[in-house]
Amino acid sequence: MICFSPKDNAFLLSGKQYSYCMYVNGAGFLQHLYYGKKLVPEDIPVLIAAHGKASEPNLNDRDMDMYTSDMPSECGSFGRGDFRSATVIVGREDGAAMSSFRYVSHLIVKGALALPGMPCARRADESLIITLRDSCSDTQVDLNYSVSEDSDILVRSLTVRNVGKQTYEIKKAFSFCTDFPDTCGTYSAMRLSGAWARERAPVTAPLAEGTLRIESTRGYSSHQMNPFLALLSEGCQEESGECYGFALLYSGSFAITAEVTHNRYIRVQGGINDYLFGWQLKGGESFSTPQAALCYSSEGLGGMSRAYHDFFRAYIIDPKRARMRRPVVINNWEATYFDFDNENLFAIIDEAAKLGIDTFVLDDGWFGKRDNDTAGLGDWFVNENKLKGGLKAVIGRCKQNGLKFGLWFEPEMVSEDSNLFRAHPDWAIAKAGVSPCRSRSQLVLDFTRKEVVDYIFEAVSKVLSENDISYVKWDKNRDITENFSASLPQDRQGEFLHRYTLGFYDLAQRLTSAFPNVLFEGCAGGGGRFDGGALYYFPQIWTSDDTDGLERTKIQWGTSMCYPLSSMSCHVSACPNHQTHRTTPFATRGAVASLGATGYELDLTKLSDEEKEQVKAQINNYKRIDELVLKGDLYRLSDPFKGNYFCEMVVSKDKREAYLVGERFRGDPCDHNRVLKLQGLSEDKTYYIEELRLAASGAALMGAGVLYPRLADCGSWTWHIREKDNV
């Protein structure tokens, strides 16, 4: 609900359990008042009295701009007395850059706001557009807010408009700014940082005076830092206390900052990375930022995560694909790497069919001259020397076995040893006179150029339309360097990285629309582009190249802080694990991989008979619980970063059914009689835990708990929990 109170000049925005309030203060600034538990419009005067008047500049002072540095603002100004970092900075032709935004008008509309060319919330109940005018230039800023009754996510973005005649350069345009007026420095910030094969580990540290800046400068959201930050109030725990989430629906270079001022107020804001960013805005033009998804939770981190999971599943992921039952896949990458032919692929396919697998995914190496990673990218036609009879032969074998077929692409890349590069060397990102940085022996295509995106669209479309393909794995295996496009003029090079991201979105939009029945899985050298923007096109994303039965619990735990289990692609791979060299039980790898879109990534023909029986059992188990995993509420019970256990459970929305997966890392003789308290059940219902043959009330399972199983190193357990009359 969006309520405007003309008497108070205030806006109260409310979702399922939160409210967000701001007002136009006496000086005409849009001042932030409140973000927290749900309130009613009658509460507005209290908010103004508590948080408004005290921070409002003195109207009688002609230098009032100078008093805005403590004023909680919805859009930070620059060069006019607000000395915190600005939200929008606009440069003039003469080099001046200063702004002071004041309220002009507002509009409340039904539904969501479209964001052409970028991912955005597909629906909303209502949206609010507040127009501010810069008193120092001919620019306006529209602040956009969208809310829905059934969601705890507030969607924000902004649009900068040039309403004058001269050309401006936007030097910074973040998507949101939220000031916390009453925090006095008692908050911590949690970021999801990592590396290749160690993505999205939660790192929490107290905020202190100064600025915490998390960012990517790599041209995509990155393995190293996810475009998500949470602000935790003192005492916030997994299931209690207050916290706020800030997630960007953006896949390019980003920044999110949490700035604690001299008076220990906090300003959180984020959007497109402003480092060397610039965007020219001619008279009459406008520029829209990506959206950000903000969340308030009074039920700790778990409450925040569940709100995000519901949001991504219902508002971002394509509804048709979100509802698709995810196929259990066998992917040949770790089974064969580049070394495959009809014979070894067919053997895997034949075996997959016997074990109950749904889809065979042919990974890297099927095209061009791609026998290793130095050649072939960009040549999206099958290598018939390697695959006799081409893709049709492999697909035919799949069909004979009742399997569907999926295929790997890396559409944004080119190898110098490729026909594409030989024909169009200028299509790769490079700067004449500078030797390009090569990574994995490949270059990045210049997706700021429409003709490049058009070509790749045609090439990939040709393969998809000529073959019966139900699944695409869309990979991306390097960072962007030499940020420069020969097709952009000198004064527009600051637009390069964002334009690249828009090119990626353009291709993703066109391909996913042209092939509506294909399930597109995102991937970037593992989980390097796992963000809310990518989820708009890819309902699931390869979470990490690290499929080790222990490390994966951490990666999936961290990823779930913001992203739903349905978005995590999780596979069982061979041991010793190719990344960590660790050996974990087959059952554990299966249990951990069941907490997402599951599959296998190994040579099925090399499994023992016992392991094959385990695969069959794992798939049977998965088909019982996949709806729960993909649609249920997640409760994180034991933090793998903190103790000897990992444990998570998913509970159906009606609380009649749950599925729990646990792992004990070390078989420790002194670590016994530990109690595991379940969560998310209904206290009044009686449940039956199938594997324990135990019936107990929800109150007992959550209040008293059950013993953790005593298991050897990396031993795991799975429990199916049903309401007793649902058994």
Catalytic machinery residues: 475, 545
Which residue's CB atom is positioned nearest to ligand DGJ?
364
CA-closest candidate to residue 169, choices 503, 502, 494, 499 = 494
Count other Cβ atoms within 10 Å, centred on residue 609. 7
Task: Work out whether 327 is an interface residue with ligand DGJ (CB under 6 A).
Answer: no
What is the C-alpha separation between 187 and 230, in angstroms, rounded? 10
Q: By the 8 A CB rule, do 675 and 708 touch?
A: yes
Among 15, 376, 378, 525, binds ligand DGJ (CB under 6 A): 525
Using DSSP bridges, classify how beta strands 540-542 and 568-573 pair: parallel, antiparallel or unpaired. Answer: parallel
By CB under 6 A, residue 168 contacts ligand DGJ = no
**In the structure encoding, which two tokens stand for residue 713, read together?**
């190193």
Q: Which is closer to ligand DGJ, CB of 526 or CB of 549?
A: 526
Select 245 or 525, whichever has its Cβ closest to ligand DGJ: 525
Query: According to the binding rule CB under 6 A, does residue 526 interact with ligand DGJ?
Result: yes
Strands (E), 181-253: 188-193, 201-206, 210-215, 225-232, 243-248
Minimum distance, C-beta of residue 326 to ligand DGJ, in the bound complex (Å) = 17
SS3 585: coil
Minimum CB separation from ligand DGJ for residue 466, in Å? 22
- Nearest residue to 617 via CA among 355, 262, 423: 355
Q: For the packed helices 551-559 and 586-593, what is the interaxial angle rounded to 10 degrees? A: 10
Rounded Cα gap, residues 40 and 272, in angstroms: 34
Q: Which of residues 523 and 587 has its CB atom nearest to ligand DGJ in the complex?
A: 523
| E strand or H helix that includes residue 556 | helix 551-559
Binding mask 383-422 vs ligand DGJ (x if CB under 6 A, - otherwise)?
Answer: -------------------------x--------------
Interface residue with ligand DGJ among 333, 455, 622, 645 (CB under 6 A) is 333
CB of residue 440 to ligand DGJ, shortest distance in Å: 8
Of the pair 162, 331, the CB lying nearest ligand DGJ is at 331
Q: Does 543 bind ligand DGJ (CB under 6 A)?
A: no
Measured from the CB atom, the residue of 408 and 659 that comes closer to ligand DGJ is: 408
Location of structure tokens 């000086």: 27
What is the closest distance, in whole angstroms, from the C-beta atom of residue 592 to ligand DGJ in the complex?
A: 17
User: Minimum CB separation from ligand DGJ for residue 61, in Å?
Assistant: 59
Q: Does 378 bind ligand DGJ (CB under 6 A)?
A: no
Q: Under rule CB under 6 A, which residues in 345-364 are in contact with ligand DGJ?
A: 363-364
Q: Does position 477 bind ligand DGJ by CB under 6 A?
A: yes
| Of positions 292, 523, 660, 696, contacts ligand DGJ by CB under 6 A | 523
Q: Does 475 bind ligand DGJ (CB under 6 A)?
A: yes
Q: Does 545 bind ligand DGJ (CB under 6 A)?
A: yes
> Applying CB under 6 A, which part among 198-206, 308-316, 520-528, 558-566 lies near ligand DGJ?
520-528
Instruction: Give per-residue burial for 651-666: e unless 16+ CB within 10 Å, then b.
Output: bbeebbbbbbbbbbbe
249: Cβ contacts below 8 Å, ≥ 6 apart: 118, 119, 120, 121, 290, 291, 292, 293, 316, 531, 532, 533, 536
Helix residue ranges, H only, 267-415: 300-311, 319-323, 333-336, 342-355, 390-400
Q: Which one, 288 or 559, has the nearer CB to ligand DGJ?
A: 559
Question: Residue 149 is inside which H or E element, if any?
Answer: none
* 559 lines the binding site for ligand DGJ (CB under 6 A): no
Least distance between ligand DGJ and beta carbon 520 (Å): 14
Q: In 3-state terms, what secondary structure has residue 361?
A: strand
For ligand DGJ (CB under 6 A), the number of binding residues is: 11
220 binds ligand DGJ (CB under 6 A): no
Question: Rounded to the nearest whole angstrom, what is the least distance from the CB of residue 469 to ligand DGJ in the complex?
Answer: 16
**Smallest Cα–Cα separation from 51: which of 27, 82, 80, 25?**
25
Q: Which stretch binds ligand DGJ (CB under 6 A): 94-102, 521-529, 578-586, 682-690?
A: 521-529
Closer residue to ligand DGJ in complex, CB, 29/380: 380
- Cα–Cα distance, 116 to 704 (Å, whole number): 52
The angle subtended at Cα 259 by Cα 253 and Cα 263, nearest 5°, is: 170
- Does residue number 72 form part of the binding site for ligand DGJ (CB under 6 A)? no
| Residues that bind ligand DGJ in the complex, under the rule CB under 6 A | 333, 363-364, 408, 475, 477, 523, 525-526, 542, 545
